């Protein structure tokens, strides 16, 4: 089914001309002047324009480029990209992310800005062209036209949500090239715009179904509302816990469809992350891949994988030996917790299929060249007998590694085709539980406990579970934050979580000290301020 869907998707994409350059230089005309009269003349052309923002979203939602994910996770308390020997210094950009000492000239901050605004521009272009044309002349029914524009408006709202999350105060631009130099709007105004766009278009958008694999839907709209209201106190100044709970209930009750029947929790910890995870029942919105058919493959191995990682996984895909779990996070998982074994990689590494008999030998002239690769829960120069541990002291095997999503071996029929879940039902359970607790003064009710336990129980055997189940006494706010970290490690939400719980700039962890409160927002890149004088820099940062 997934292959059939992807054939249609990529056939349509092949018809798409270059519609735009970018809309990131907000004082300049966002797009080249192109005649579109000879486009949007049939359904395939319309679909190709609708799909264009999704392929671009791969660049900024998932690990692999300097988009939303890297800024969100590498500035938090679980993951880092330390220097490892001669590799990974990269002009100190990952070190500054970990230390919260980034500047207004940071390439990571500028790249995220550019990627998000470019994707938003693709949405604006398609919305304007589809809404401004007669449905029949495009080969569409009016219902199809309304569905496409509703979907695109939800997707545009998703881009705005991420921009507001990272940068706070941003312009609101809904038409290509207008205005020429848009003004910065307060975060609360952006919040209201996003909320209205979602609520105005959620019922116009189609229910989630297999046909919408990797695309925005009514279910995605409710997930966005859940995220919006969960963070409303920080983003708009007003708590919206009841609205958050209502949005969660719409998904928990499966009123907006599902990819494989009604939305439901996956029973196995690995089902959501394996190569054929398009069979998952709990994924609400994802970045979809199908390498076999389309040659469109996940880019996250570049961030996570060691130089010799392919031998571990039974395929040729290696990485840049970049992102690792910071020291001590691994030990926050109980030994009976299946997530510790399934999602994290530590210790001696063996070639795929060898059953622990054929070791992976490190190569490439690094610290352990010619020796078995052994991942360790520390970042220090062990080969030199050093105990100094900081962002510059790593070796090629430093740090526990990512093992959550699986590419599969070359022989897997879904090889390199695992979709990256942006929203999943497990997260919605946690969102509702947190909203209930915050509404109750930070104290867990039995309903909140039941929601969290429903997810956590999957990580334990029947024999081990009774000793690890939460109660209303043990599910404190601090414990909820810790469990969010365990369940959603690597998924992009850690910065948001730390900000909501008041830990992002006040907390300390491994090689990170408390930072200035204004660091909760990233700066507007200096180059954009120079290009558009109507942009206003966030408090605390120089122009």
Mean pLDDT of residues grouped by 10 in the chain (543 residues)? 36 29 37 57 95 94 95 98 97 98 98 97 96 96 96 98 98 92 97 98 95 96 98 98 98 96 95 96 96 93 98 98 98 98 98 97 97 98 97 98 97 96 98 98 98 98 98 98 98 98 98 98 97 97 95
CB 443 within 8 A of CB 437: yes
pLDDT of the residue at 23 = 40
The distance in angstroms from the start CA to the end CA of the chain is: 51
The string of pLDDT tens digits covering residues 421-458 is 999 999 999 999 999 999 999 999 999 999 999 999 99
Cα–Cα dist 214/3, whole Å: 13
pLDDT of the residue at 218 = 97
pLDDT of the residue at 36 = 59
Question: What b/e sequence results for 177-206 when a residue is b if at least 16 CB atoms lie within 10 Å of its CB, and e otherwise?
Answer: beeeebebbebbebbebbbebbeebbebbb
The string of pLDDT tens digits covering residues 211-268 is 999 999 999 999 999 999 999 999 999 999 999 999 999 999 999 999 999 999 999 9
pLDDT of the residue at 497 = 98
pTM for this model (two decimals): 0.93
- Mind listing the domains of the chain with CATH numbers? 41-205+523-531 (1.25.40.390), 301-404 (no CATH)
| DSSP result, 388-455 | --STT-B-TTBSBEE-SS----TT-TTTT---EEEEEHHHHHHHHHHHHHHHTTT---HHHHHHHHHH
């Amino acid at each position: 089914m997934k292959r059939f869907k992807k054939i249609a998707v990529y056939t349509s994409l092949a018809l798409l001309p270059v519609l735009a350059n970018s809309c990131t230089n907000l004082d300049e005309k966002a797009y080249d002047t192109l005649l579109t009269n000879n486009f949007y003349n049939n359904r395939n052309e319309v679909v190709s324009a609708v799909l264009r923002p999704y392929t671009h979203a791969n660049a900024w939602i998932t690990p692999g480029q300097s988009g939303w994910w890297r800024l969100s996770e590498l500035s938090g308390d679980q993951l880092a990209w330390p220097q490892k020997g001669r590799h990974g210094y990269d002009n100190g950009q990952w070190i500054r992310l970990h230390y919260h000492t980034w500047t207004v000239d940071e390439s990571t901050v500028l790249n995220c800005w550019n990627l998000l605004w470019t994707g938003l521009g693709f949405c604006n272009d398609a919305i304007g062209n589809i809404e401004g044309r007669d449905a029949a002349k495009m080969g569409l029914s009016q219902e199809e036209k309304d569905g496409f524009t509703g979907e695109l408006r939800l997707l545009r709202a998703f881009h705005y949500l991420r921009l507001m999350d990272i940068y706070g105060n941003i312009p609101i631009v809904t038409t290509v090239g207008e205005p020429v130099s848009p003004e910065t709007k307060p975060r609360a105004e952006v919040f209201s715009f996003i909320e209205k766009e979602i609520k105005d278009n959620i019922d116009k958008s189609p229910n989630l179904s297999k046909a919408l694999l990797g695309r925005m839907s009514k279910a995605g709209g409710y997930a966005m509302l859940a995220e919006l209201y969960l963070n409303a106190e920080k983003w708009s100044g007003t708590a919206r816990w009841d609205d958050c709970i209502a949005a969660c209930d719409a998904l928990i009750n499966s009123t907006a469809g599902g990819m494989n029947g009604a939305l439901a929790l996956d029973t196995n910890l690995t089902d959501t992350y394996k190569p054929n995870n398009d069979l998952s029942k709990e994924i609400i919105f994802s970045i979809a891949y199908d390498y076999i058919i389309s040659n469109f493959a996940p880019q996250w191995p570049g961030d996570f994988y060691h130089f010799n990682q392919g031998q571990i996984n039974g395929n040729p895909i290696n990485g840049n030996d970049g992102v690792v779990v910071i020291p001590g996070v691994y030990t926050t998982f109980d030994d009976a917790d299946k997530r510790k074994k399934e999602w994290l990689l530590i210790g001696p590494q063996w070639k795929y299929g060898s059953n622990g008999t054929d070791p992976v030998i490190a190569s490439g002239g690094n610290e352990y060249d010619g020796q078995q690769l052994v991942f360790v829960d520390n970042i220090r120069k062990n080969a030199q007998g050093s105990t100094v541990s900081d962002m510059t002291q790593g070796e090629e095997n430093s740090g526990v590694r990512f093992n959550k999503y699986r590419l599969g071996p070359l022989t897997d029929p879904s090889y390199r085709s695992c979709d990256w879940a942006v929203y999943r039902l497990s997260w919605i359970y946690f969102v509702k539980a947190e909203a209930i607790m915050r509404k109750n003064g930070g104290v867990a009710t039995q309903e909140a406990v039941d929601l969290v336990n429903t997810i956590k129980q999957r990580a334990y055997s029947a024999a081990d579970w009774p000793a690890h189940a939460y109660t209303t006494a043990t599910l404190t706010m601090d414990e909820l934050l810790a469990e969010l970290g365990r369940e959603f490690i690597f998924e992009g939400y850690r910065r948001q979580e730390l900000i909501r719980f008041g830990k992002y700039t006040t907390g300390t962890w491994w090689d990170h000290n408390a930072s200035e409160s204004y660091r909760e927002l990233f700066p507007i890149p200096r180059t954009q301020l120079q290009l558009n004088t109507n942009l206003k820099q966030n408090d605390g940062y120089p122009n």
